[in-house]
Amino acid sequence: MSKLILETIRDELRTCSVIDGEGEFCRDWLGKSECYLRTLRFINGEPSADALTVCASKLRYYAARLEQSPEQQYQHWAAQFRTLAVACMDAVEQRALDKWQKLPAMMV
């Protein structure tokens, strides 16, 4: 699920010409190696909370910068970046929820 979110973000960033490819996205937007998403696909893994959080932070940062522009096109991308940042953090929250709910109930 969260892997799909990162692929959606990668595609959106490509659409608005922020990145050229997946390697650049992994390195510059996730803080990971250029082969990070390719590796996740190969092992059928999920992205780390760290990758999702770094991506959300960068999306929020650039959304704030874009919101300062009078250009309508930039306003659209700012809103899109904010929506994607929320999706990243929702994925982190869901993973955390799944993890602690699987823990054995603590005795009081």
**Greater confidence, 8 or 105?**
8
The residue whose two tokens read 């309508």 is: 72
Alpha helices, DSSP H, located in the chain: 2-15, 22-29, 36-43, 49-67, 72-102
The pLDDT of residue 103 is 77
CA-nearest of 41, 39, 37 to 51 is: 37
Could you read off the pLDDT of 41-80 as tens digits, one per residue? 999 999 999 999 999 999 999 999 999 998 888 999 999 9
The residue whose two tokens read 């992994």 is: 26
Domains of the chain, by residue range, sit at: 2-98
Global pTM value: 0.88
As a whole number of Å, the end-to-end CA separation of the chain is: 34
